[in-house]
Chains A and B, each alone.
Chain A
Amino acid sequence: MTDRTTAPEFKDIDHIELIKPDHIELDNGCNIFSFNSGDQ
């Protein structure tokens, strides 16, 4: 069982991972950036 008398350990945030998009440029100059999460 969780021991609730002590606070959970504090962890620093050192790096943030961001999802980067795929890029398509259409012939008409329109840029499409897509971020796929799959099924959610």
Chain B
Amino acid sequence: MVRIEWIFSNLRFDPAKPLLNVAVNTMLTEGTSILSASQIADQIDFYGAFLQVDYGYDHSQVTLYTLNKHLSSTLPVIKDILTDSIFPESELETFIRNQQQKLQVSLQKNDIVARRAFNKAIYGDTIYGLGADFDDYKTLFRDDMLWHFKQMYQPSNCTILIAGKVDKKALELLTISFGSDWINPTVEANTTQPELKAAYEHLYFIEKPAALQSAIRMGLPSITRTHPDFPALQVMNTVLGGYFGSRLMANIREDKGYTYGIGSGISSLKKGGALFIATEVGADVCKAAITEIEKEINLLKTELVSEDELSLVRNYMLGSLLGSLENVLSHADKFKNIYFSGLGYEYYDQYTQVIRSITAEEVLQMANKYLDLDKFYRVIVGKY
């Protein structure tokens, strides 16, 4: 068995046509000049293979899981998709209708509304800040999608990862299919992105008078994986809200009972990162929950983490890293993290080294350097 991923950098975000990257990727399996959507699905099914497309903030991809012996039948389908997708008008109409319906459902969920507002505030009018609204779908046209497709899905903008039983034959089939007769168009893919610009307004309250729970999302722009402080910041983040026994969980879930779950995280994207805390709490305790979140942040900034707690977090983080490596596919995933950040394997050596040796003082320094409450963006959806 092999897993093959065709990964493409997204094209530069156009605020006037914000949905092109996501729509083109999502609709890659909806038909080519010679295969209809159902023929693509049938062909893949027939060989017991599995095909999916995924859209991400920085990259979009096509993934194929297939038995080696069927590569010569499954690869041509992918080749066809990547070189000759036609985005049939009827499928596009269905896509738009489905997406608009999904959107209507999503917008009823406070946590989703909070995430959209938070991303918009932190990342501005960029591909990361985009929260598609109903009218954005009116800007989607087949001609634009075809143009976008031709620009983006070209060989010089493609990285292929193949993992599993990669024997000589598999590599040969792959290089033949995606080699010399896969030709770049004359125009290079423009994969630059506008600079991120965080909003001036730091507080967003979206009132839902009937809400039983309020969604809270707060945080600020932060560093990415390429910054030397990143591993140490991850340790601090884990202490704060990165695992089930974290400070936020222990206080706000276990002790106060305000929520079923609360966590913090760092998102590291190509153009920038963000550190955030997210939860849904009882609508009547929203204010109290925010007070407690701020209390935990201030504690991290003023008091040293005990050696017991730090050692627990160290073991948790190293154990998670080790536990996430179960087969060769997960090794390929680890490679993606560094490769697309422009880092080498020494990153993982530094990462384990930092986790093993970090001191309580350094955790405190990280908190003071990266958790400035005055710079926090706060989004509350529900009741406050």
Contact = CB atoms under 8 A, between A and B. Distances in A.
Contact of A33 (B175, B327, B339): B339
Interface string B176-209: 0011101110000000000000000000000000
Nearest to A26: B179
B304 interface: no
B182 to A, nearest CB: 6
B162 interface: yes
Contacts of B166: 34-37
Contacts of A16: 318, 321-322, 325, 348, 352
B159 A37 contact: no
B156 A30 contact: yes
Contacts of B339: 33
Contact of B163 (A20, A27, A37, A39): A37
Given A35-B331, A37-B327, A28 B179 contact: yes
Interface string A1-40: 0000000000011111011110010111111111111111
B165 interface: yes
B165 A29 contact: no
The main secondary structure of chain A at its interface with chain B is loop
B174 A35 contact: no
B155 A28 contact: yes
A33 B159 contact: yes
Interface in B126-181: 155-156, 158-167, 171, 174-175, 178-180
B167 A36 contact: yes
Given A13-B318, A37-B165, A30 B348 contact: no
B345 interface: yes
Nearest to B184: A28
Given A29-B184, A35-B328, A20 B162 contact: no
A23 to B, nearest CB: 10
B57 interface: no
Given A16-B348, A18-B348, A26-B155, A33 B335 contact: yes
A35 B160 contact: no
Nearest to B351: A16
Contacts of A33: 159-162, 332, 335, 339
Contacts of B318: 13, 16
Given A16-B321, A16-B325, A38-B165, A26 B178 contact: yes
8 contacts: A13-B319, A26-B180, A28-B156, A31-B160, A35-B161, A36-B165, A36-B166, A40-B1
